[in-house]
């Protein structure tokens, strides 16, 4: 196991742990206002200080981790649940109209950055965490469809697939029983990368007000709130930013490490 | 080449047409009638009808779709529900902030990433390379709007080299405009530069392993000469594609960065329009962004095919 993998796993678990623990315990009530203790810099009582309403930043960061992880995780789930079957189908019927429709559809979705999808959805249905999930999730579909199709295409040329066909299995059954297990590693690695992109996207969306709405804490909105106070309370901006960086860095390292670990045959150029 | 270009052009048209239908359909689902929203609850039925006719809201859905698309083709994006001014004029004004910002960031990101990527590849595995790889790994993880806030804190609030926000406009001279776009452009460019430097490095490393690089060394070129004459030139092809793709990221990313610096660009326009329920503005800006992404990808494909003839046979 590489250093990347270990460091990435540690950072990611740290954030995950904070999110899970926040369900049963936070140092303070994350929503409790305490105006007399507002805008404290980090100290022994409040490890990460307090915000302009005197809320404990440490507790808000913990609960914010929950929001970030939930949004990004469900978005990756949507991307996989829809993208992988589409990619498998396109590869199984390579060159057919189905393949063509799926791939052109992919190109089309690619032309809508998740921010643009979020703007459209919000303009119509209003802002909220669900809409952020849908926007990031839609953006993930073509990513998984493409990577699944690409990997599946080369597998379809292999002899063990030919053997399966000779034994009378249909394309759908081969896709599920033989292709899918062989692309699983690739999907796990890509899933990790998309997860980290999802964390960044969620932060961006909630920063501009298109994500989770108050009182649900989210790192992006904490940054938006901090913006006008950055000159006299820089910790309000520093801490949520560092939380995002640690999470994204951890997931990226984890993804890189997993790729090397799961597939030692490929010499990875690490783009 | 012409055949290939034509084929790609047709596919571009289809993509644009489908995208416009999708955008129109989504906006169409939006609840509420813009006319009654503008005139309030006490409006008379005939005033409402007149306003609907004026805004082009009285036809069937199909009719309105074709009015919208037909109008855009001749540069008429309709009339804003809230400001009662032509949307095309509003977009044109804002584009003069967003487009230079995206181009400025693209230039910065390229200028930073090229030397860094080449440096790392030339020193593969050595401390210099490891430092660059670590720094770019970090650069990718930094949210650009947070980085922007840190830049404001350091260079605007503490050092006072720049304004914390706002746009001086181009009327006061080119350099004044550039000056007020500098911090936003840096914020947008650095995370992209981190990605680009990694692509440059790995692309160059692939090339350095090629046989013709060994030949170049064998015929007496120094490492440095071989690297520049044969390595960098060949490594540029995949890098150019990424640069093209980055443009659309930068244009979309500028929407968020504009919020940090209070820049009067497309991003502010679209968020104001969302809160004012000025859906025609949202619809048009989104279409414009999608148009930009699709067109840039098309141009990148063409440039790629012009450089590498093998790609023309693939679709």
Rounded distance between C-alpha atoms, residue B95 and residue B246, angstroms: 18
CA dihedral A176→A178→A183→A188, nearest 10 degrees, is: 60
A123 neighbourhood in chain B, CB within 8 Å: 27, 30, 273-274, 277, 279, 282
B289 neighbourhood in chain A, CB within 8 Å: 113, 116
Is A113's CB within 8 Å of B252's CB? yes
Tell me, yes or no, if A167 comes closer than 8 A to chain B by beta carbon. Answer: no
> Shortest CB distance from A204 goes to which of B256, B271, B274?
B256
Domain-by-domain residue ranges, chain A? 3-20+56-270
Confidence at residue A148, expressed as pLDDT on a 0 to 100 scale? 94
Residue B30 half-sphere exposure toward CB, CA atoms < 13 A:
23
Confidence at residue B311, expressed as pLDDT on a 0 to 100 scale? 63
Rounded distance between C-alpha atoms, residue A83 and residue A68, angstroms: 22
pLDDT band at A268 (very low <50, low <70, confident <90, very high): very low
pLDDT in tens, B223-249: 888 888 788 877 877 787 788 778 877
> Shortest CB distance from A111 goes to which of B19, B152, B282?
B19
Dmax over CA atoms of chain B, in Å, equals 88
Is A120's CB within 8 Å of B26's CB? yes
Closest approach of B189 to chain A, Cα-based (Å): 16
The CATH superfamily label for domain A3-20+56-270 reads MetI-like (1.10.3720.10)
> Shortest CB distance from A111 goes to which of B140, B205, B290?
B290
Residues of A (55-94) whose Cβ lies below 8 Å from B: none
Rounded distance between C-alpha atoms, residue B15 and residue B7, angstroms: 13
Radius of gyration of chain B (CA): 24
Decide which of B35 and A250 is more confident.
A250
Rounded distance between C-alpha atoms, residue B313 and residue B3, angstroms: 10
Confidence at residue B189, expressed as pLDDT on a 0 to 100 scale? 93
Decide which of B248 and B157 is more confident.
B157
CB B286, CB B25: distance < 8 Å: no
CB A203, CB B125: distance < 8 Å: no
Closest approach of A127 to chain B, Cα-based (Å): 10
CB B147, CB A248: distance < 8 Å: no
Q: How far apart are the first and last CA of chain A?
A: 20
B253 neighbourhood in chain A, CB within 8 Å: 115
Decide which of A91 and A121 is more confident.
A91
> Shortest CB distance from A230 goes to which of B19, B153, B274?
B153
Q: Which DSSP helix (H) or strand (E) runs through A260? A: helix A235-262
pLDDT in tens, B271-293: 888 888 888 888 888 898 889 88
- Give the dihedral sign, CA A223/A226/A228/A232: negative
pLDDT band at B301 (very low <50, low <70, confident <90, very high): confident
Decide which of B43 and A40 is more confident.
A40
Decide which of A271 and B308 is more confident.
B308
CB A133, CB A74: distance < 8 Å: yes
CB B153, CB A231: distance < 8 Å: yes
CB B221, CB B207: distance < 8 Å: no
A226 neighbourhood in chain B, CB within 8 Å: 149
A110 neighbourhood in chain B, CB within 8 Å: 293, 297
Confidence at residue A1, expressed as pLDDT on a 0 to 100 scale? 64
Residue with token string 């960086």:
A245
What ipTM did this prediction achieve? 0.88
B202 neighbourhood in chain A, CB within 8 Å: 269-271
> Shortest CB distance from A122 goes to which of B11, B15, B274?
B274
Tokens of A192: 């990790």
Rounded distance between C-alpha atoms, residue B68 and residue B161, angstroms: 45
Tokens of A77: 């789930």
pLDDT in tens, B162-183: 887 778 778 888 888 888 899 9
Count of positions (residues) in chain B: 315
Decide which of A244 and A28 is more confident.
A244
Mutate to test the interface with B, among A11, A101, A124, A239 (most CBs of B within 10 A): A124
């Amino acid at each position: 196991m590489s250093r990347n993998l270990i460091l990435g796993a540690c950072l990611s678990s740290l954030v995950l742990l904070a999110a899970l623990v926040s369900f049963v315990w936070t140092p303070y009530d994350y929503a409790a206002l305490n105006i007399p203790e507002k805008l404290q810099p980090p100290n022994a009582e409040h490890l990460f200080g307090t915000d302009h309403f005197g809320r404990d930043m440490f507790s808000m960061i913990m609960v914010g981790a929950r929001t970030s992880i939930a949004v990004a995780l469900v978005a990756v789930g949507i991307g996989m649940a829809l993208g992988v079957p589409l990619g498998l189908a396109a590869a199984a019927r390579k060159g057919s109209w189905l393949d063509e429709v799926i791939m052109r559809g992919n190109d089309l979705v690619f032309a809508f950055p998740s921010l643009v999808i979020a703007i459209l959805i919000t303009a119509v249905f209003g802002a909220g965490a669900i809409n952020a999930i849908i926007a990031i999730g839609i953006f993930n579909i073509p990513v998984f469809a493409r990577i699944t199709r690409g990997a599946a295409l080369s597998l379809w040329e292999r002899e063990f697939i030919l053997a399966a066909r000779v034994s009378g299995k249909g394309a759908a059954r081969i896709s599920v029983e033989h292709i899918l297990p062989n692309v699983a590693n690739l999907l796990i690695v890509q899933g990790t990368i998309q997860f980290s992109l999802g964390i960044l996207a969620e932060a961006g969306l909630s920063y501009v007000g298109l994500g989770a709405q108050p009182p649900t804490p989210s790192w992006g909105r904490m940054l938006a709130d901090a913006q006008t106070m950055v000159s006299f309370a820089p910790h309000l901006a520093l801490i949520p930013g560092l939380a995002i960086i640690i999470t994204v860095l951890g997931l990226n390292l984890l993804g890189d490490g997993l790729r090397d670990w799961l597939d030692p045959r490929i010499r990875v150029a690490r783009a | 080449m012409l055949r290939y270009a034509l084929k790609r052009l047709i596919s571009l048209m289809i993509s644009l047409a489908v995208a416009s239908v999708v955008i129109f359909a989504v906006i169409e689902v939006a609840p509420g009638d813009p006319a009654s929203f503008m005139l309030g609850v006490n409006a008379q039925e005939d005033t409402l009808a007149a306003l609907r006719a004026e805004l082009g809201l009285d036809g069937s859905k199909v009719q309105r779709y074709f009015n919208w698309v037909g109008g855009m083709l001749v540069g008429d994006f309709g009339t804003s529900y809230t400001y009662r001014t032509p949307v095309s004029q509003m977009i044109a004004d804002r584009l003069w902030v967003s487009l230079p910002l995206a181009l400025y960031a693209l230039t910065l990101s390229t200028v930073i990433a090229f030397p860094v990527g080449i440096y790392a590849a030339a020193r593969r595995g050595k401390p210099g390379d490891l430092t660059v790889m670590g720094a770019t790994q970090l650069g990718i993880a930094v949210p650009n709007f947070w980085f922007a806030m840190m830049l404001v804190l350091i260079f605007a609030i503490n050092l006072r080299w720049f304004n914390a926000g706002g746009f001086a406009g181009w009327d006061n001279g080119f350099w004044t405009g550039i000056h007020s776009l500098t911090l936003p452009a840096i914020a947008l460019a650095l995370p992209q530069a981190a990605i680009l430097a990694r692509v440059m490095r790995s692309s160059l490393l692939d090339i350095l392993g090629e046989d013709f690089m060994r030949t170049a060394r064998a015929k007496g070129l120094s490492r440095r000469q071989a690297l520049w004459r044969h390595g960098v030139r060949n490594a540029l092809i995949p890098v150019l594609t990424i640069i093209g793709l980055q443009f659309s990221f930068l244009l979309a990313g500028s929407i968020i960065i504009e919020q940090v610096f209070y820049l009067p660009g497309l991003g502010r326009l679209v968020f104001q329009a969302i809160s004012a329920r000025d859906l025609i503005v949202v619809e048009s800006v989104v279409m414009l962004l999608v148009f930009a992404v699709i067109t840039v990808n098309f141009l990148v494909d063409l440039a790629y095919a012009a450089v590498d003839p093998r790609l023309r046979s693939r679709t």
